[in-house]
Amino acid sequence: MLTGKVAIITGAGKGIGRATAVEFARAGARVVLVGRRPDSIEEMNNYIAALGFDSISIVADVSNFVAVNKMAKQVKDRYGRIDILVNNAGIASTKTASWHMPTLEIDDDEWDGVLAVNLKGQFNCAKAVMPHMMAQKGGSIINLSSTSALVPTFGSAPYCASEAGIMALTRVLARELASYHIRVNCVAPGLTLTPMQDSMPEEAIDMAAGMIPLGRAGLPLDIAQVILFFASDGLFVTGQTLLVDGGGTMH
């Protein structure tokens, strides 16, 4: 399905990024694993190599444009092209494992830190790969947002604002890049069992999962399969956000 394609996946060391990297590798892509922590992405690189697939790992902070621009050039120099960007790197908070921080307790560092990774990070990565995709007249960018952009949770202003911004950024980029045959879409998971949920009490997860029509929380693989769909060649879809939440946000 993705044979010969070169795919950059940010936040590739765990959770949704890890599952997406494996699915892309199995689909034939040459996978570029990007993350801030060398240990996690190198371990992931070794794992994919053990499966017999082609991947490399690159340490980069997505909030730093110089770093991600250097990363994109490194990928282009190695493989000669960049076909897919999965903008997956994201955080809930810079200060606490909990999602709940009332607005009056949020200082500039917390607000700026969350938006720098979640929203600016996706802008930076898209901006870094765009010239390469435009030159080859094709590509696919898949941004990861969250249903929290639409159904916000108490005490998560920076996170929810950043996720809503990602949906808007997706539509802007889709319009700008359509004439270059570059598709830009967004995947918005609902409750998904990733390390980001580790601080959430098991009872709270069970309660939330019980309210999902399909009867369970999402798994990283559930999200990875939809990302793979958006990466597929010939898809007549751009500028769209697909909620992957088991029906949790149905109205």
Amino acid at 227: I
- Look at residue 6 and tell me whether its pLDDT is greater than 80: yes
Residue 103 lies in a domain: yes
230 occurs within a structural domain: yes
Over residues 9-29, the pLDDT tens digits come to: 999 999 999 999 999 999 999
Q: Is residue 36 assigned to a domain? A: yes
**Residue 180: domain span:** 6-243
* Better-scored residue on pLDDT, 100 or 30: 30
Q: What is the pLDDT of residue 157?
A: 95
Q: Could you tell me if residue 249 is inside a domain? A: no
CA dihedral over 194, 199, 203, 208, signed as positive or negative? negative
Does the residue 1 lie in any domain? no
| Position 196 pLDDT exceeds 80 | no
DSSP-derived pairing of the beta strands 30-35 and 6-10: parallel
pLDDT exceeds cutoff 80 at 201: no
- Whether residue 34 is contained in a domain is answered as yes
Residue type, 184: V
Quick: pLDDT tens for 102-161: 899 999 999 999 999 999 999 999 999 999 999 999 999 999 999 999 998 888 999 999
CA distance to 1, 29, 45, 142, 235, per residue, from 51 (Å) = 18, 13, 10, 25, 28
**What was the pLDDT predicted at 97?**
59
Predicted pLDDT of residue 211: 84
pLDDT of amino acid 99: 61
CA dist., res. 197 & res. 82, Å (int): 32
Domain of 89, CATH number, reads: 3.40.50.720
98 pLDDT more than 60: no
Q: Which residues are catalytic?
A: 159
- Give the Cα separation of 189 and 70 in Å (integer): 29
Q: How many domains are contained in the chain?
A: 1
Q: Is residue 251 part of a domain?
A: no
What per-residue confidence (pLDDT) applies to 1? 86
Q: Would 35 be classed as within a structural domain?
A: yes
If you average pLDDT over residues 47-56, what whole number do you get? 96
Q: What is the mean pLDDT of the chain?
A: 94
